[in-house]
Amino acid sequence: MAKYSHEAVFETAYQAGQIPGVALVAADATGKFRYEKAFGKTAHGEPFLTDSVVWIASCTKLMTSVAALQQVQRGLIGLDEDVGKVLPEVAVLKVLKDFDAEGKPIFEDRKEAITLRNMLSHSSGLSMPLFSPKLQQLEKFTGPPANPPKNIVTEFSQPLVFQPGKGWQYGTSLDWAGKLVERLSGQSLEEYMKANIWDPLNMRLMTFAPDSRPETKERKVGMTRRDADGSLHPTTEGYLYLYGDREDAYGGAAGWGSAESFVNILQALCANDGRILSKELVDEMFRPQLGPEGKEMLNQILHADEESRRVLGNTFDMDHQVMDYGLGGEIGLKDEVGRRGAGTMSWGGLPNLIWWIDRKGGLCGALFTNLIPVGDAKIVELMRQFELSVYEQYEEFKKKQ
């Protein structure tokens, strides 16, 4: 068996108490090359395996993007069509322009419709207080909601933070896109994805409701927290969307699943094999989507500070890379030596999950763990080593074919 240089590094890091258990997966576009390996245990003492089920958080967005694009493929909505006919709650939202001297919000009407393209590329203006200083300021003015919100409409009917298509801001767009899929398909997001993504791709350990199925419930593992001194401890905190907390399946961040299941959607998109989406729409997913304002804003956010580079950079070399956004993740526009080719799409999930799809290099993969806080420096460092190692072995593999 080929020697992967990263394996000893991961094992040493785990034994030294520097990381909790992790699972690593990779596959190529042909389906002939596949790598799966897990290391260590969670801080709760559970073995972390390639079929361990964790909260995948924003990794959910890639699946929701595919589900939404399937509606385009079926002719139910156009990429550049106003989503307001399906999501009237979004259509009535105004733009939060500024605040007056007394702290009162100043709103303006939308000048353009919000399109599905806007939503899937985070250029819609839809955000949330977690990511938007404007919405944080508005929250101070309006005060907290009287009752904890239980669904997407009550939780995310907040004003836009810029005119549609005129910026980039992470937020609630994919949650709304999931609601759009439900309304167009007449199915819950769980039912829809199972029938149209998970079952066709044999993603058997993927769900929004992990406790509802024995095979996912029994594989769930606990969350690990890294304290300021670097030590690792078990925790029950860190989950934004616990199963049962909400009435809706949140397409932006409420999925649960395993690394060995998730790599199947990465591989299908890397291969562009037509199993879940037409070749033309997959090509469109990987095409840079942002206008000049959005591209500038995205790169400013990514380069803002070291934490932003780690949290949002997803191992891209932010000293040299220029970023754009596709219809499923961020896109690096330059080659990176020994690993990601130009056009690589990548994103991740809050508990330090990271995935990539490099169609130019024909390789995709992911690191799954269950660790907070987000943007762990050690995980990012190790992920880069995993990528370099797996690309190196893939080159050797191709020579033997």
Catalytic site positions: 58
Q: Residue for token digits 């130019």?
A: 360
How far is it, in rounded angstroms, from Cα 165 to Cα 292?
10
DSSP state for residue 116 in the 8-state scheme: H
**Triad 200, 201, 202: Cα angle to 5°:** 95
What is the bridge-based pairing of β-strands 330-332 and 223-226?
unpaired
A 10 A CB-CB count for 267 gives: 25
Tally Cβ neighbours within 10 Å of residue 360: 12
Closest CA to 193 of 71, 16, 314: 71
Dist CA 338 CA 324 (whole Å) = 21
| Of 118, 132, 219, the residue nearest 171 (C-alpha) | 132
Closest by CA to 323, choosing from 353, 354, 344, 337, is 344
- C-alpha–C-alpha distance, residues 369 and 21, integer Å: 6
Q: Which helix (H) or strand (E) holds 95?
A: strand 95-99
- Residue 62: what are its φ and ψ, rounded to 5°? -65, -40
Query: What's the order of all strands across the beta sheet hosting 232-235?
Result: 232-235, 223-226, 371-372
